[in-house]
Amino acid sequence: MTTCYIILAFLLNVFLNDDHHDKHIDRSVAAIDYNLSAPDKIYILPDVLREISGITETDASSVACVQDEKGILFIYDLLKEKIKQQYHFSNNGDYEGITRVDKTIYILRSDGMLFEIPSYESANSIIKSYATGIPAKDNEGLCYDQKSNRLLIAPKSNSTKDSDNKNKRFIYAFDLKSKKLIKKPLFVFNLKAIEKFASENKFKVPMKSGKKGDKKDPDIEFRPSAIGIHPLTNKLFLLSGMEKLLFVFNMNGETEYIEKLDPELFPQPEGITFLKNGDMLISNENNKPTILKFNYLKK
């Protein structure tokens, strides 16, 4: 009987220790179901894409890309790890965002001009362009909001000189039925509220230097370089490339998560997209450009 009690106590101790260990493995992985410190695949891109500025999935094994110098649409094969097609859609320019809506590709130029490429795989595709009139000059983030049939556009800079909006950032919606920008911002993010959230939840973010050189308060610039909507959770993922920060919001605009990205893996994160199964892809501009794949862990 004594031997049974000893064995039972040993097994109970192992169980409790394992449970305690599991709760502290990595809070960040559990929060978003991606391990951003360990890519499941790293794609080394050809030199022509070293200025890669946006990506969007086209199917389970391909992504469409743009780079911020040439009006060329690139289709990259994830299985063969090479560019399989490319199409000229406009003159050279600062192209920053890209997203797919069924067989149509939309590309965002930094001045807010949208290019529509229907049946993008067809040589006879007639390209249209739309001057959105977005009140910002430096626009980088673009994604498709399928539930509301609209495109979301995220300016990198503040879209107004009003001092009351100095600490605010905006995301606008482009209605795909009317092909017009909705003038009122869809999301208004308050930097002070985001910094408060980061502080209360002890997220690792850039910090302000105090009078004595100590760093106590978050110092978040929040300059969107890419946005995407998760296909399974409908959460809004946003990259601030210059800060190497990933933000996650719900569709009410409430902050749910922030993670500081490893600069060795993310030298300049400029693009984000998701495969239908939830796997996430993030692209990096660099002398050695990359796409990092992170498997969705909640399957």
Q: Is 246 exposed, middle or buried (0-12, 13-18, 19+ CB in 10 A)?
A: buried
The pTM score is: 0.88
Between the alpha carbon of residue 8 and those of residues 4, 20, 240, 252, the distances in Å are 6, 18, 52, 49
- Higher-pLDDT residue of 218 and 186 is 186
Q: Do the strands 72-77 and 62-67 form a parallel or antiparallel pair, or are they unpaired? A: antiparallel
Q: What amino acid is encoded at 275 in this protein?
A: L
E strands, 36-126, in order? 41-44, 52-59, 62-67, 72-77, 82-88, 95-101, 104-109, 113-117
pLDDT in tens, 251-261: 999 999 999 99
Q: What is the mean pLDDT of the chain?
A: 88
Residue 124 has a pLDDT of 79
pLDDT in tens, 134-160: 998 899 999 999 999 999 999 997 766
- 187 forms beta bridges with 171
- CA-to-CA distance for 8 and 12, rounded, in angstroms? 6
Residue 207 has a pLDDT of 86
Residue 14 has a pLDDT of 37
Percentage of the chain exceeding pLDDT 70: 85
Q: Are 218 and 206 in contact (CB under 8 A)?
A: yes
Residue 161 has a pLDDT of 65
Between the alpha carbon of residue 103 and those of residues 34, 83, 98, 126, the distances in Å are 28, 19, 13, 13
> Average pLDDT for residues 207-213, to the nearest whole number?
70
Q: Is 150 exposed, middle or buried (0-12, 13-18, 19+ CB in 10 A)?
A: buried
Residue 211 has a pLDDT of 63
Determine the distance from the C-alpha atom of residue 265 to the mean position of all C-alpha atoms in its chain, rounded to a whole number: 15
pLDDT tier at 73, thresholds 50, 70, 90: very high
Give yes or no for residue 212 having a pLDDT over 90: no
Number of H helices, E strands in the chain: 3, 22
